[in-house]
Structure 1
Amino acid sequence: MSVWYNISGLTEFDKKLRLLLFNEIEKIEISVRCAIVNFGTEMTGNSFWMTDANNLSNPSKFNRSIRLIEDELNHTKEDFINHFKETYTNQYPPSWMPTEILPFGVITNIYSNIKNKKIKKRIAQSFGLQVAPFESWLTVITVTRNSCCHHARVWNMVFSIRATMPIRMSRPWITLPTDPLKVYFDMCIIKYFLDIISPNNDMLDKMNSLFSTFPEIDKAALGFPSGWEIEPLWH
């Protein structure tokens, strides 16, 4: 019986695929967190901009973010947060601190609620994207990350979110017809970010190593089109 039809083989492949994706997404998370807090602080001139309602457009979203920030601050065991609370009287710490501890989905929601469009545009441009596709791709990455964290099956998962495509790309992208709801498309989004964050990244090597370990896996079930290896993105 081939690995493809072997339940334990599929389970092991999916486990390693989730780990691969999670590790690469983690690098993107760190870079996006830094960009949001750094550009936000620089362009508002306010280290506390994230907890200042004047900098966020939707009051309801802002209040929800504040509640989540307060919850994280009240329950965190991070030394740097506790040191701040013991040393200063400010209601909230500077924006870089909650950015360190908030779930990535909350960070992306804060980004979408930034009032100053120039700040949103500058952050998105730092990743070679326009605002709408940047927000959309962050949502796709968040959903993929959560699937990996919660041990959901991802190899043949059909995702519910269709990514918004950029008007133009600053880096190589895919050209072949590709199902945007399969995990391969998510992997392409991850690779696009990585090529900007770390141009010499080894994601392709890791993918090839995984597939060589499980040679019977049908890549088409993951959404890989025929000839994917020669796509500009993977060069």
Structure 2
Amino acid sequence: MAGLAAAARAAELGASVVVLEKAGRLGGSAGLSAGILWTAPDVATLRRLDPGGDAELGAALVAGFAPAVEWIRATGAFVSERWEGQMGFGSAVRVDIAALLAAWRERIERAGGRVLLGSPARRLLAGGGVEVAGAAAGELRAGAVLLATGGFQGDPALRDELIGAPAGSLLVRSAPGSTGDGLRMGREAGAATSAGRGFYGHLVPSPLARWGEADFLPLTQYHSS
């Protein structure tokens, strides 16, 4: 979702945009979600509840939430009225996530950009661009590359390395394609990584007879004590 949003905004501002989507559909984990966008109501609350988080990014998130919601509303996708008390403290709206993803894709393509499904990026190229596998295999040269690959939670070895054992054995409640591709490409290109500060998840019953995308919402325990 973050990558598609960035691509839609870049296209609005006149950039020539190509979106490389690893999966056969758009949206990643956002496409499997209930479409709730939320944040803390103010920076003080965010710092109190997440004192180890990045202060600069947190402030940008809180300040940018309302303008981002209005930008989303302007796509024509359904956006609910804002409510308070999400997860006990947050400000939130619900969006029609499928309509929003479609609107962003349409905006990119209307501006002359391309959205290529089944086309994972494999390696950053010296001088700008990426090596692409899948349907659009080859080298794609670009003046700038934005890595927005959805995290590393789909790779058990990376979960153990970056969260700590036995995280590799946890049930994964997200798009299965988020296997750390962006992290690997960044590392291979010499990028630094930030210190780990935990992870986000929800409780689910255990043991389960089955666990798949259709079970993520109905089997999740959003509130516990």
- Between Structure 1 and Structure 2, the one with more strand by share is 2
Higher radius of gyration, 1 or 2: 1
Looking at secondary structure, tell me which structure has more helix per residue.
1
Length-normalised TM-score, structure 2: 0.27
